[in-house]
Chains A and B, each alone.
Chain A
Amino acid sequence: MDDYLKGAAAQLIERGRVLTAKIPRDLPRDYHTLAQTSRQRINAQLEHLKQLSESPLFSQPPYRAERLRLFKRIVAEMDILETVAIAALDRAKPDDHRLNNLLERIALEIRFPLVTPVVTTLSQQYFHIYPELNLLCVPLTEGQFLLHLPDLYHELNHPSLVEQNDPLIEPIQEHFLNALRDVLGYLGEEESKEDRRRGPVQPRFLLRAWEKAWVKYWMTEFFCDLFATYTLGPAFAWSHLHLLRIT
C-alpha cells in the first residue's frame, strides 16, 4: 500500500500541474473567478497530498484507514476539478460567453447579493450548479432557447444557502432553518402518533424517509423555487408547466 500511494501521489501531483497549465490565459474577465478558484483548489489538494505522502505518521498502522480515506477524497476532488472546472474553462466558447453576459445582466437586475456564477454549456444533466466552484452548468443549446432560462434564477439561489458569514444573506438562511425545524417538528409529531398507535411499521419508515428527503434535498429545492418566483415572477412557474401532473 505504501508503494502504491507513493506512485499514485507522484502521478496526481503531475496531473495537478498539467491541469493548472490547461487553464486558458485569454478568457474574458467573467471566467477569472473560476480560474482563480480552480488554481487555489488544485494547489490545496497538492499540498494536502504532499503532507499525506511525506508525514511518517501515516505509514503507521493506526492511521492507515484515515490515510486511505484522505487520499480517496483528494482523488475525487481532482476528478471534479478536471471534469467540471477545468473542462469549463478549457472548452469555453462564444455560446458560453453570451450566457455569462446574460447572467451578469440578470444578477444586476435582481441585485443578486453574491458573486455572479460562471456559466458553462457543458452540462449533461439539465441545469445545475456547483456552489463551491460557483459554476452553473446548462445543456449545450440552452442559450438559444428561452423557455428554460427561468431555471437560471433557481440555480442562482443555491450558493446563498451555503455561503458563510455574510449578514446580507443570513436572513434567507435563518428562514431556511426555521422552515426545516417546522417540517421536522411536524414529522416528529406524526412519528410519535404512530408510536402511540402501535400500528404497522411502514408509516414510520415513510415518515423517516420524508424527514431525510426534506433535510437533504426538498427544502433546498423549495427555497430555490421560491427565490426564482420572487425574482422572476410567474414566468418561473409557467416555464415548468410541463412538469405538472394533470389529472
Chain B
Amino acid sequence: MSHNGLYSGLYARIRDDAELLDEVLISLKAHTSSPTDEKRQKLAHLFLGTRTSVPSNLSAQFFQIFLQSEQEIDAKQLSEIGEALRSTDVGASVIDRLETLALALENERAGMLAKMRGQG
C-alpha cells in the first residue's frame, strides 16, 4: 500500500461531494432549486445521514467526519444545514455556510491530489 493507494478511493468521494455541493449552491443562488430536487435531497442526506442503504450511509459518514474534524462543525450544526436543505426556505446564512464548506472541500480535494502525486 502506498500514499496513492490510501488517497485514491477517498479522493473520489471528496471530489464527488465537492461537485454535489457546488451544483446545489448554484441552483440555490439562481433560485432554481426546490427541496424535491434529487441533488439537493442527496446533499441533505449527507448532512443528516438518514437513508437506509449501507453505501449511502457510508458516504454520509465520511462527509460528516470530514466536516466535523476539518471544519469543527458539530452534529447539531450539520443537522441544521441538512434540515434547511429539506425545507422551502434556505436563508442567506445557510448559503454562506455552504459556500465556506464548498471551499474547504475543494481545498481538501486539491491537497489530496497533491499528496497522490507525491507533492504533499
Contacts and interface: CB of A to CB of B under 8 A. Distances in A.
Interface of A: 57, 62-63, 65-66, 69-70, 72-73, 76-77, 80, 123-132, 137, 151, 154-155, 158, 161-165, 170, 173-174, 176-177, 180, 184, 208, 211-212, 215-217, 220-221, 224
B55 A63 contact: no
Interface string B66-103: 10010000000000000000000000000000010011
Contacts of A217: 6, 10
Contact of B1 (A73, A127, A131, A208): A127
Contact of A69 (B22, B57, B66, B118): B22
A130 B8 CA distance: 6
A161 B73 CA distance: 26
Interface string B100-113: 00110010011001
10 contacts: A63-B26, A63-B29, A66-B22, A73-B15, A125-B4, A126-B5, A180-B61, A211-B69, A217-B10, A220-B9
A34 to B, nearest CB: 15
A221 B3 CA distance: 12
Contact of A215 (B4, B53, B55, B65): B65
Given A69-B102, A161-B9, A162-B12, A126 B61 contact: no
Closest 10 CB pairs of A and B: A128-B5, A125-B2, A126-B2, A128-B4, A215-B65, A212-B69, A173-B54, A69-B106, A125-B4, A174-B54
